[in-house]
Structure 1
Amino acid sequence: MQDRIVLVSGVGRGIGRAISELLAAEGAAVAVNYRRDRDAADETVAAIH
């Protein structure tokens, strides 16, 4: 996944969070999107950086 940019929605919990963590671990640059829970999205961003 090196040199790939991905957009993941629903990163605050569940599948969206798991996918963003997996893709980041594989070397992708992950852009995150959330709808309701900014704090949860911020936690995901902190976990993948």
Structure 2
Amino acid sequence: MIESGILLTGGGAMLPGMARRLSQATAIPVRIAPNPLDAVILGLRAMAAAAA
């Protein structure tokens, strides 16, 4: 996480100022996923497929 940074997804990524605040608090780069809500669904789908 320290090397690649934090990738915000879901509703938290959509909160104004969240990425900046998290970056300041952790001193780790923070990025927001291009489609934060879609990222959550696609991740769950991949996990479900791997478990099957």
- Shorter-chain TM-score above 0.5: no
Larger radius of gyration: 2
Structure holding more helix per residue: 2
Output the TM-score relative to the length of structure 2: 0.36
Structure holding more strand per residue: 1
